[in-house]
């Protein structure tokens, strides 16, 4: 295993005790470097291994749609782990308190946790590192080239991160080993997790209901990857920007919840028989764009704030603060999809009904919120709130980076100056009509063009 994926966060006392892997981002038993590393530690020490998981009812932005998907996937992961003799120890509450309590109770000698750049996850990790006595390691299993290894600073754009990623990629594009049955059994009986009861106990916001177009879990994720490679990858490069075409992968919910490893997807796509261009364009999104988002959130504390925009964008947006807005909508009108723009309303309907929105439309959707909000700050608050509430893949660095790109020129450059946007790139309804069948999309999502 490449040592660059793991970082020692805390030296622990040299003592005997089991190894715990705290799974909080990579919810899968296969292709999971954190789990594999934890097992390697446990085998070297001749001790049992368990996976810890803590569900936080107060997780920012999460509703029934998200918890139902996560828990259905975890149920499968628990079974796969059990098959290898590794119990899943599940708890409910604030992970900053529950995980140290669990580590203390089982007298863990080593704790391995997932890397995650989001501020509440970083705060959890800091609190856990302070509170436990065990040795603590961080594993980056989300990025193919680990975020901290790819770059030690905030990158300006894809063009500055790309060469760094491509230089290191051959080292990290390695097939992970299969999780082996663990040779040292857990010393106590672990009661089965009652997932349905857990969902009820979480009491998530029921007004964002589960969706049924996508099956949760590792097995479904692997099937969805195969299906994409077989049927849509060859079309990806030419048709990915057309929301009416079935060309994109729809893998983001699996990638977001860690039910699919991007490494597995990248290896499978690299070996596929699709045209080179299709593979290259897809891998650019899956690796460079996706890993750029983690880089942004790790190095920019204000990743979801106006202060996180580059200087040039803040200046130009400040200059245009007073510009007259032809339309101003509050969050409620937007959330209900009640604007004068039928394309925007249709996009909002797709998002609320399915938890998915096509990638090109996400840019249009966010830019219109800037155009119709009283200030860039109000636009960003609304875009983040709606994105995180309705999208199954919301609450993800990709979302914060995507919104900051759309509203505040992050990873972009200045364009021609115009009202409200200043020199931040603008997108128009007319431009959309030149790209794809806008009336067709509006009809699909139940509107009148």
Ligand X SMILES: Cc1cc2nc3c(=O)[nH]c(=O)nc-3n(C[C@H](O)[C@H](O)[C@H](O)COP(=O)(O)OP(=O)(O)OC[C@H]3O[C@@H](n4cnc5c(N)ncnc54)[C@H](O)[C@@H]3O)c2cc1C
Residues within the interface to ligand X (CB under 6 A): 240, 248-252, 255-256, 285-286, 289-290, 293, 359, 362-363, 366, 387, 391, 393-394, 396, 398-399, 402-403, 405-406
> Would you say 99 or 286 has its CB closer to ligand X?
286
Say how many C-beta atoms besides its own lie within 10 A of residue 254's C-beta. 30
Provide the minimum distance between the beta carbon of 290 and ligand X in the complex, in angstroms, as a whole number.
4
CA dist 309 and 297 (Å) reads 12
Provide the minimum distance between the beta carbon of 191 and ligand X in the complex, in angstroms, as a whole number.
34
Q: Which tokens belong to 226?
A: 């195969």
> Would you say 108 or 366 has its CB closer to ligand X?
366
> Would you say 99 or 379 has its CB closer to ligand X?
379
User: What is the crossing angle of helices 359-371 and 397-408, to 10°?
Assistant: 50
3 state SS of 416? coil
Sheet containing strand 88-92, edge to edge, reads 6-10, 135-139, 110-114, 19-22, 49-55, 88-92
Provide the minimum distance between the beta carbon of 248 and ligand X in the complex, in angstroms, as a whole number.
3
Q: How are beta strands 135-139 and 6-10 bridged, if at all?
A: antiparallel
> Would you say 22 or 365 has its CB closer to ligand X?
365
> Would you say 342 or 408 has its CB closer to ligand X?
408
Side-chain half-sphere exposure of 17, counting CA atoms within 13 A: 18
Answer yes or no: are the C-beta atoms of 369 and 382 closer than 8 Å: yes
Provide the minimum distance between the beta carbon of 46 and ligand X in the complex, in angstroms, as a whole number.
39
> Would you say 34 or 408 has its CB closer to ligand X?
408
Provide the minimum distance between the beta carbon of 117 and ligand X in the complex, in angstroms, as a whole number.
13
- Burial of 331 from C-beta contacts in 10 A (0-12 / 13-18 / 19+): middle
Q: Which tokens belong to 126?
A: 């800091």
Phi, psi angle pair for 209, to nearest 5°: -75, 160
CA dist 395 and 187 (Å) reads 37
Provide the minimum distance between the beta carbon of 275 and ligand X in the complex, in angstroms, as a whole number.
16
Provide the minimum distance between the beta carbon of 412 and ligand X in the complex, in angstroms, as a whole number.
11
| DSSP designation for 177 | P
> Would you say 4 or 359 has its CB closer to ligand X?
359
Provide the minimum distance between the beta carbon of 249 and ligand X in the complex, in angstroms, as a whole number.
3
> Would you say 148 or 367 has its CB closer to ligand X?
367
Q: How far apart are the first and last CA of the chain?
A: 54
């Amino acid at each position: 295993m490449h040592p660059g994926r793991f970082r020692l966060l805390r030296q622990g006392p040299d003592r005997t005790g089991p190894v715990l892997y705290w799974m909080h981002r990579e919810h899968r038993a296969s292709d999971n470097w954190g789990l594999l590393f934890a097992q390697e530690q446990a085998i070297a020490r001749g001790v049992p291994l368990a996976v810890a998981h803590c569900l936080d009812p107060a997780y920012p932005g999460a509703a029934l749609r998200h918890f139902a998907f996560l828990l259905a996937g975890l149920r499968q992961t628990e079974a796969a782990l059990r098959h290898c003799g590794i119990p899943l120890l599940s708890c409910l509450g604030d992970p900053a308190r529950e995980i140290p309590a669990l580590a203390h109770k089982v007298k863990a000698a080593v704790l391995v946790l997932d890397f995650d750049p989001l501020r509440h996850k970083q705060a959890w990790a800091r609190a856990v590192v302070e509170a436990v006595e065990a040795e603590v390691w961080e594993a980056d299993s989300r990025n193919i080239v680990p975020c901290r290894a790819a770059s030690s600073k905030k990158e300006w754009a894809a063009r500055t991160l790309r060469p760094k990623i491509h230089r290191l990629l051959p080292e990290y594009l390695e097939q992970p080993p299969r999780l082996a049955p663990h040779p040292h059994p857990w010393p106590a009986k672990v009661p089965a997790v009652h997932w349905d009861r857990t969902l009820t106990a979480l009491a998530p916001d029921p007004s964002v209901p589960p969706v049924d177009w996508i099956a949760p879990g590792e097995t479904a994720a692997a099937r969805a990857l195969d299906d994409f490679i077989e049927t849509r990858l060859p079309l990806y490069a030419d048709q990915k920007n057309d929301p009416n075409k079935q060309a994109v992968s729809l893998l983001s919910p699996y990638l977001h919840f860690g039910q699919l490893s991007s490494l597995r997807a990248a290896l499978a796509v690299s070996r596929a028989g699709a045209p080179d261009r299709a593979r290259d364009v897809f891998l650019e999104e899956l690796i460079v764009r996706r890993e750029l988002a983690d880089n942004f959130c790790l190095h920019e504390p204000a990743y979801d704030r106006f202060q996180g925009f580059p200087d040039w964008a803040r200046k130009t947006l400040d200059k245009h603060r007073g510009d007259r807005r032809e339309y101003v909508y509050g969050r409620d009108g937007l959330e209900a999809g009640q604007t004068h723009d039928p394309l925007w309303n249709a996009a909002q309907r797709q998002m609320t009904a399915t938890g998915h929105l096509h990638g090109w439309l996400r840019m249009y959707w966010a830019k219109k919120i800037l155009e119709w909000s009283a200030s860039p700050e109000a636009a960003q608050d609304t875009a983040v709130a709606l994105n995180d509430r309705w999208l199954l893949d919301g609450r993800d660095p990709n979302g914060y980076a995507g919104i900051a790109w759309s509203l505040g020129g992050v990873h972009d450059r200045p364009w021609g100056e115009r009202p409200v946007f200043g020199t931040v790139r603008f997108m128009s309804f007319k431009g959309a009509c030149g790209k794809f069948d806008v009336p067709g999309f509006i009809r699909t999502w139940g509107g009148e063009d």
